[in-house]
Structure 1
Amino acid sequence: MNTTLPVGITMGDAAGIGPEIVVKAYAQGLSVPCVVYGDAGALHRAAAQLGARLEIAEIAHIGQARPDAGRIQVIACSPALPADLPLGQVSALAGRGAYDYVCAAIDDALAGRIRAIVTAPLNKKSMHEAGIDFPGHTEILAERSQTRNFAMMLANDELRVLLVTIHVALADVIALVTPESELAAIRLADRACRQMGIASPRVAVAGLNPHAGEGGKFGREDIDIIEPAIAAARAEGIDASGPWPGDTIFMRARRGEFDIVVAQYHDQGLIPVKYLGIDHGVNVTVGLPFVRTSVDHGTAFDIAGKGLADHASLVAAFDLALAMTP
Structure 2
Amino acid sequence: MDRSYIGIPMGDPAGIGPEIVVKALTKEKIHETVKAVVIGDKKTLEQAMKFCGVNLEINVIEDVKKGDYKKGILNLIDLKNVDIEKLEVGKVQGMAGKAAFEYIKMSVELAMDQKVDAIATTPINKEAFKAGGINYIGHTEVLEDLTNTKDPLTMFQVYDLRVFFLSRHVSLKKACEMTTKERVFDYILRCSEALERLGIKNGKLAVAGLNPHSGEHGLFGDEEVKEIYPAIKKAQEVGINVVGPVPADSVFYFALKGSYDAVLSLYHDQGHIATKMVDFERTIAITNNMPFLRTSVDHGTAFDIAGTGKASEVSMVEAIRLAALYAPNFTNKVLAD
User: Which TM-score applies when normalising by structure 1?
Assistant: 0.92
Amino acid in the other structure paired with 2:137: P
User: d(CA) in 1 for partners of 2:109 and 2:181?
Assistant: 33
Q: 1:44 — aligned with what? A: 46
Segments of 5+ residues of structure 2 without an aligned counterpart are 329-337
Q: 2:152 — aligned with what? A: 150
Q: Secondary structure at the match of 1:33?
A: strand
Q: Is 1:14 matched with 2:50? A: no
Q: Secondary structure at the match of 1:132?
A: coil
Give 1:248 deviation, angstroms.
1.9
- Please say if residues 205 and 261 of structure 2, whose CA atoms lie closer than 8 Å, have aligned partners that are also in contact: yes
Q: Is 1:174 matched with 2:173? A: no
- Please say if residues 152 and 162 of structure 1, whose CA atoms lie closer than 8 Å, have aligned partners that are also in contact: yes
Q: Is 1:114 matched with 2:110? A: no
In the TM superposition, 1:306-317 aligns within 5 A as 306-317=308-319
User: d(CA) in 1 for partners of 2:181 and 2:248?
Assistant: 18
Amino acid in the other structure paired with 1:9: I
User: d(CA) in 2 for partners of 1:218 and 1:132?
Assistant: 43
Q: Secondary structure at the match of 1:140?
A: helix
User: d(CA) in 1 for partners of 2:152 and 2:47?
Assistant: 36
Go from structure 1 to structure 2 and tell me whether the alpha carbon gap of 1:5 and 1:263 turns closer, same or farther (over 3 Å shift): closer
Go from structure 1 to structure 2 and tell me whether the alpha carbon gap of 1:233 and 1:272 turns closer, same or farther (over 3 Å shift): same
Go from structure 1 to structure 2 and tell me whether the alpha carbon gap of 1:53 and 1:78 turns closer, same or farther (over 3 Å shift): closer
Segments of 5+ residues of structure 1 without an aligned counterpart are none
User: d(CA) in 2 for partners of 1:322 and 1:232?
Assistant: 35
In the TM superposition, 1:122-201 aligns within 5 A as 122-201=124-203
Amino acid in the other structure paired with 1:178: T
Q: Secondary structure at the match of 1:262?
A: strand
Poorly superposed stretches of 4+, deviation over 6 Å: none
In the TM superposition, 1:199-214 aligns within 5 A as 199-214=201-216
- Please say if residues 122 and 316 of structure 2, whose CA atoms lie closer than 8 Å, have aligned partners that are also in contact: yes
User: d(CA) in 1 for partners of 2:130 and 2:273?
Assistant: 25
Q: 1:215 — aligned with what? A: 217
Give 1:63 deviation, angstroms.
5.4
Identity of aligned residues (%): 39
Give 1:81 deviation, angstroms.
3.4
- Please say if residues 295 and 313 of structure 1, whose CA atoms lie closer than 8 Å, have aligned partners that are also in contact: yes
Segment drifting more, 23-32 vs 192-201: 192-201
Go from structure 1 to structure 2 and tell me whether the alpha carbon gap of 1:186 and 1:96 turns closer, same or farther (over 3 Å shift): same
- Please say if residues 59 and 67 of structure 2, whose CA atoms lie closer than 8 Å, have aligned partners that are also in contact: no
Q: Deviations over 1:12-52 (max 9, x none)?
A: 11111110111011122423322111111110001122232
Segment drifting more, 118-127 vs 142-151: 142-151
Give 1:80 deviation, angstroms.
2.6
Q: Deviations over 1:78-99 (max 9, x none)?
A: 6233334111111211111111
User: d(CA) in 2 for partners of 1:77 and 1:222?
Assistant: 51
User: d(CA) in 1 for partners of 2:68 and 2:196?
Assistant: 29
Q: Secondary structure at the match of 1:323?
A: helix
Query: Aligned residues, how many?
Result: 323
User: d(CA) in 1 for partners of 2:141 and 2:256?
Assistant: 29
Go from structure 1 to structure 2 and tell me whether the alpha carbon gap of 1:238 and 1:39 turns closer, same or farther (over 3 Å shift): same
Give 1:65 deviation, angstroms.
4.2
- Please say if residues 291 and 321 of structure 1, whose CA atoms lie closer than 8 Å, have aligned partners that are also in contact: yes
* Superposition RMSD in Å: 2.0
Q: 1:27 — aligned with what? A: 26
